Structure 1
Amino acid sequence: MSPPDGYSINTGPSDESEDSEPLIKSGAVPPQCCSARLNLAMLMFLGFSVVYGLRVNLSIAMVAMVNSTDPEIVDNSSVAHACPLPARPENTSEALQQPEGTPQYPWDSETQGWLLGAFFFGYLCTQIPGGYLAGHYGGKIFLGLGVLGTAALTLLTPLAAKWGSYWLFALRALEGVGEGVTFPAMMAMWARWAPPLERSRLMTLSGSGANFGAFVALPLTGFICQKLGWPAVFYLCGGAGCFWAVLWFLLVSDDPRTHRRISEEERDYIVNSIGPQGTGHGWNVPLLPMLCSVPLWAIIITQMCSNWAFYTLLTSLPTYMSNILHFDLQSNGFLSAVPYLGSVAAALLSGVVADFLIERNVFSVTVVRKIFTLTGLLLQAVFLTAVSYAGCDHILTVTFLTLSSSLGGTSAPGVYINQIDIAPRYAGFLLGITNTFGTVPGVVAPIVTGYFTEDHTLAGWRKVFWVAAGINTGGALFYTIFGSGKVQPWAVTYES
């Protein structure tokens, strides 16, 4: 059915804006199967799978890189109140042995926290400039080079570790610099490629590559560490990133107008449905109105709150599995990854449902974004709290962690794609801004976790989960009050 009179395809039924855009009747919509826009989403999915693999592999490899038998690293008296060691022989320290000659390092808990957070120091630096330049020039070159640069640097990880923790810290920070442009570039590309009524499912599909990458990388890293030694992890992951970059540059175009293999029907559908918002924003951006925009600040605050829990689990969950629950390295990788698979499924399903609700005029864009954000963040907080009281029960802990991450994935079509609703033309730049703030927890959370868990006790980890749950809840409430899905007045673009 076609939208009612006066209804812009770029907004929900009650989200009126001054932006007038061409309307596309449902009969004129070309199929999504095997389309150029779906192929782009799938290639982005694989790209973010790779970059998140590059991001999280250190979390598992750290267990193998650190000499945990060094008396200066592990004080037996300090872990007296943690979970008892299991009696099964496969879960003893023998499982941590690697091929002969694999180096290990005497890094304490605090040093490990700094190394796990190092990536985000660099990641903070390139979000805003990456989003700004991608919005002007297009996102293809920045997303491709971001992945390629991060992958190339990953190949140097074993050498940096050999030189010392300061060198490894610097290398990880440089990897963050390269990867920092990737998500803003993705958003800038979708501003030109995603028809408004397909935004939720296309963007959640491409962004779900992050969780899928974590799901694959965590158990694979544990397996490689045991069979080939931890240096092989970084060689293989880095090589995969370089291979993906070649495919990206060969197959992708910044704009549907310049794509060599897109059908004329699909090209016209995308261009007409997006309208004048699907163009570069030029060199000038309305900085002051952005700074004063309450809906933008709602996205910023909420992403910071949500990312605290996300980055806490991403960087520290393997340590919890190893030091507290005493899983062997391979089991550690698999069980740390299970929650991310559930998150992928929840995000993809939520994206389809969100588009359905908007397309059928069930709810406005604003209401849809708030429903999925509130649901995802609150349910994640509930089960994070439950984890803190699961104690040494392995089954309950894994179950609660899986439910927390899986249900948290329902927020994917909520606050995480809201930039393109309020300012489509500036979406890449806005994502750079919101991701810069949202990355602060990536720097702080591993360090705070390191301080809370210096004595390796359940009480210390309980604080970690409680803090994450409380911050998540605050973010959900803030977005529910101040979030919006309307195109903001300062972002309206008219056909010249």
Structure 2
Amino acid sequence: SSFLWGYIFSSVIGGALVDRYGGKRVLAWGVLLWSLATLLTPLAANHSTIALLAIRAFFGLAEGVALPSMSTLLSRWFPNNERATAFGISMAGFHIGNVYNVNLKQAAWFSAVPWATMAISGYLAGTASDFLINAGYPTTFVRKFMQTIGFIGPAVTLICLNYANTPTMAATLLTAALSLSSFSQAGFMLNIQDIAPQYAGTLHGISNSAGTLAAIISTIGTGDQVL
């Protein structure tokens, strides 16, 4: 996706800008620019494929500052024992936005269900994380516990997906995998804010770029395998 090519470059730079100038200012510019890209997308699509790819890359470039900005703002606005819930609510907004963007006239309902369940499970992971910290469990233990669920849960369900013999079963397992992956929101994503809150934007940008690189490689690899 051309979106990812723009996204990977702005995450680290955007994170550094966030740490220097603050999340509100950088995020405001990001929202302005990706809104402009959204408005220009139909025009670009009508013009040419190259124009569409370029505007999608610009979209990704603008949106790359979103998560680093959010990470920095949350690290400054919320104490350690409330941060996971706040992060879960914030990420739920992203997931619900994806639900809203699904065209149900052209896609089945299960195209929207995974995003909805991720919003719910991410929030539940956040509240559970804060509950454990307030109950006296060490922050490091709680972060590792949530991240373990976020890693092992999807791994197990994706292995089971290989043996699904109906579309309904496959959709259910895929939804479960995505839902369990949202526990990472209360894991490594918050650990960044725990260990270096003053550099939360930069660190989140670095980790985000690494994840985006994996997405680019997997997209290309999947295309080669399908073709």
TM-score by length of 1: 0.44
What residue number does 1:453 align with?
A: 226
Between structures 1 and 2, the one with greater helix share? 2
- Over 3 Å counting, the alpha-carbon distance change for 1:200 and 1:135 in structure 2 is same
Contact 1:119/1:172, CA 8 A, preserved across alignment: yes
Deviations 1:309-358 (A, max 9, x none): xxxxxxxxxxxxxxxxxxxx242xx2111112111111111111111111
1:206 equivalent among 69, 90, 94: 90
Alignment partner for residue 127 of structure 2, among 343, 352, 369?
Answer: 352
Give the letter aligned to residue 194 of structure 2: D
Q: For residues 71-220 of structure 1, what are the structure 2 equivalents within 5 Å?
A: 117-218=1-102
Conservation of the 8 A alpha-carbon contact between 2:125 and 2:183: yes
**For residues 363-389 of structure 1, what are the alpha-carbon distances to aligned partners after superposition, in whole Å with 9 as ceiling and x for unaligned?**
211111111111122111111222233
Contact 1:135 1:188 in 2 (8 A): yes
How far residue 154 of structure 1 moved from its aligned partner, in angstroms, is: 1.5
For 2:219, the aligned partner's letter is P
Q: Is the 8 A contact 2:150 2:180 kept in 1?
A: yes
Counterpart residue number, 1:367: 141
- The aligned counterpart of 1:291 is none
In the TM superposition, residue 222 of structure 1 has moved relative to its aligned partner by 3.8
1:399 to 145, 152, 172: 172
Question: Cα deviations across residues 34-77 of structure 1 (Å, max 9, x unaligned)?
Answer: xxxxxxxxxxxxxxxxxxxxxxxxxxxxxxxxxxxxxxxxxxxx
Q: What amino acid maps onto 1:402 in structure 2?
A: T
Point out where structure 2 has 5 or more consecutive residues left out of the alignment: none
Q: Is the 8 A contact 1:143 1:183 kept in 2?
A: no
Is the CA contact (8 Å cut-off) linking 2:75 and 2:83 kept in structure 1? no
Q: Deviations over 1:421-445 (max 9, x none)?
A: 1111111121111111121123222
Distance 1:330 1:351 in 2: 30
In structure 1, the gaps of 5 or more residues are: 1-116, 224-328, 455-496
Q: Percent identity?
A: 37
How many equivalent residue pairs? Answer: 227
Query: Is residue 2:223 matched to residue 1:339?
Result: no
Give the one of 158, 171, 193 matched to 1:384: 158
Q: Once the 2 structures are TM-superposed, how far is the Cα of residue 123 of structure 1 from its aligned partner?
A: 0.6
Aligned partners of 1:118 and 1:443 also within 8 Å: no
- Cα deviation for residue 174 of structure 1 reads 0.6
1:348 and 1:198 map into 2 onto residues whose CA distance is 12
Q: Are positions 1:427 and 2:203 aligned together?
A: no
TM-score relative to the length of structure 2: 0.94
> Which has the higher Rg, Structure 1 or Structure 2?
1
RMSD: 1.5
Contact kept in structure 2, 1:376 and 1:408, CA below 8 Å: yes
Q: Which runs of 4+ in 1 moved over 3 A?
A: none
- C-alpha displacement of 1:400: 1.0
